[in-house]
Amino acid sequence: MASDIAEVAAELNMMVAADHQAARHANSEDPAEQLAWRRLTAQHADRLNEIMDEHGWPTAERVGEDAARAAWLIAQHADRQLDVQRRALRLMEQAVADGAASPRDLAFLRDRTLVNEGRKQIYGTQIAGVKDGTPTPWPCEEPEHMDERRAEVGIPPFAEYIAQFSIT
């Protein structure tokens, strides 16, 4: 079983390396590059779903910090496979409750899933676009309390967060 988990960890790390390599094509003007990105994220989501079938949520304790973070990123990018994203969210919620996963990462996945469902996000982690050089978030529940919720899970205040996206 230990070697099986080591293989899963190595596979998750390889998948996230491929994800990082291909991510620059996510918003490409070239339809072929966009399609390649979509296919890659779909393949990764399918494989993550199989891993969740076999092992549950890949926590850092089981697969190591890097592979656990890779699983989270793969779930984040499973935008066209809401069933996989929702399942990852449920499993990650339990892992957070057990102290085995990051509340911060869970907040990002929760927001991403909500936005993909056409609902308002909670933490303001998902940016819809940039208007006049300023990042604009997808709609958020009770935006006046967003920074309080962000602080609870270890995410910097919204103004500080969007500064990294700002175009000057």
Q: Is residue 47 very low, low, confident or very high in pLDDT (cuts 50, 70, 90)?
A: very high
Per-residue pLDDT tens over the stretch 102-124: 999 999 999 999 999 999 999 99
pLDDT for the residue 166: 60
Helices (H), the chain: 2-22, 31-55, 60-63, 65-76, 82-97, 103-116, 146-152, 158-163
Q: Tell me the one-letter amino acid at 20.
A: H
Q: CB–CB of 74/61 below 8 Å?
A: no
Q: Which residues contact 97 (CB under 8 A, 6 or more apart)?
A: none
pLDDT for the residue 1: 56
Q: What is the mean pLDDT of the chain?
A: 92
pLDDT for the residue 57: 97
pLDDT for the residue 167: 56
